[in-house]
A = this chain, B = another copy of it.
Amino acid sequence: MASTEFDLIARYFEHQSVNRRDVALAIGDDCALLSVPTGSHLAVSTDSLVAGTHFLADADPALIAHKALASNLSDLAAMGATPAWVSLALTMPEPNEAWLSQFCEGFFALAEYFNVQLIGGDTTKGPLSITLTVHGFVPEGKALTRAGANSGDWIYVTGNLGDSAAGLAILLNEVTVEDDALRNTLLERHFKAHPRILAGQALIGIASAALDISDGLISDLGHILKRSQVSAVIDVDKLPLSDELLTFESDRQKAQQLALTSGEEYELCFTVPEENRGAVDTSLAHSGVKVTCIGQLRPGQGIQLTQNDKLLDWQLHGFDHFAE
């Protein structure tokens, strides 16, 4: 007997180990019913991943699931929010149980790590794509937005930058890497980003603005600059580069350019007023996340790249799906 849509949903999505007390009704009715804590704002973000655009259709389903959920949770991290629930709209050409099983494995592993409960969604027939909507909580008036930065604030990033672009280049066979360990490490950096949830929460009350790096530092930082009406100066020699990236790309200038434009990093970029600089290190110590100051905000518009206090004229572009 053929699997029906409802059987599929029931079998793969109704059973999960996360059962939150703030979920009064989860999957199986017309809506989920949920409780938001008093004094908290609900933070909501939606992301779509489409086969052929965001991943190759034959990619490991567990990695696709991880990437989809990690990128979505990263938006909560960028607001300083605590994750709570996620809904999943899954469109696939046919009810492929082997694929679904692996997808669920990757999805629920990450969901369980962050205590996120799947509260519903939709399973439909069509070209492969995944749309997630995550929900989290953040104390009212405390969320890290893009609009709060001021001239003089320092610019920070978490982790290292550029590894995701290197992994993508390997994945797309644009480059050949002989060293299997290096190859696998960079591929994993591309696929298995770790959302900076703890770091985001720790930055509440300290950072003046924040976002996550999904389209490339240059492109994303531009959103803070536009919303906050400031410009930025970045010292390219301060960009945090992994040893693996510098092995992959031994030309340091090219590695720095990768770090500036690499999308899907899911590191946080945030700004900090002078008086809070000391608090950054202490508050992030428990999260185990490296942070690096890469520049400073100024009056005016745009981004200036410098090296040894000299202005660079690198022409770089962030990632944009519809740009020509």
Interface residues of A (CB under 8 A from B): 2-6, 8, 24-25, 28-36, 38, 41-54, 75-76, 78-79, 81, 85, 87-89, 91, 94-95, 119-127, 129, 131, 133, 135-136, 138, 140, 143, 145-147, 210-212, 227, 320-324
Contacts of A95 in B (CB 8 A): 322
A146 and B29 contacting across the interface, CB-CB below 8 Å: yes
Of residues A2, A94, A323, which shows the largest number of chain B Cβ atoms within 10 Å of its Cβ?
A323
Closest B residue, CB atoms, query A24:
B41
B125 and A5 contacting across the interface, CB-CB below 8 Å: no
In the complex, 30 of the A-B residue pairs with CB atoms within 8 angstroms, ordered by the A residue number, are A2-B323, A3-B322, A4-B322, A5-B323, A28-B146, A29-B79, A30-B45, A30-B78, A30-B146, A31-B43, A31-B44, A32-B43, A33-B43, A33-B79, A33-B143, A34-B44, A35-B42, A44-B87, A46-B87, A47-B89, A48-B89, A48-B91, A48-B124, A53-B125, A87-B133, A95-B322, A124-B321, A126-B127, A127-B127, A129-B129
CA distance A126 to B85 in the complex (A): 26
Smallest CB separation, A53 vs chain B (Å)? 5
Contacts of A47 in B (CB 8 A): 89, 122
B131 and A122 contacting across the interface, CB-CB below 8 Å: yes
CA distance A119 to B46 in the complex (A): 10
Smallest CB separation, A47 vs chain B (Å)? 5
A125 and B50 contacting across the interface, CB-CB below 8 Å: yes
Q: With A53-B126, A322-B5 known to touch, is A38 a contact of B35 (CB < 8 Å)?
A: no
Q: With A38-B38, A52-B126 known to touch, is A45 a contact of B120 (CB < 8 Å)?
A: yes
Smallest CB separation, A32 vs chain B (Å)? 5
A322 and B122 contacting across the interface, CB-CB below 8 Å: no
A124 and B54 contacting across the interface, CB-CB below 8 Å: yes
A323 and B46 contacting across the interface, CB-CB below 8 Å: no
Smallest CB separation, A234 vs chain B (Å)? 21
Contacts of A38 in B (CB 8 A): 38
Contacts of A31 in B (CB 8 A): 43-45, 75-76, 78-79, 81, 136, 143
Of residues A43, A44, A47, A121, which shows the largest number of chain B Cβ atoms within 10 Å of its Cβ?
A44
Smallest CB separation, A297 vs chain B (Å)? 18
B25 and A33 contacting across the interface, CB-CB below 8 Å: no
Smallest CB separation, A264 vs chain B (Å)? 13
Smallest CB separation, A31 vs chain B (Å)? 4
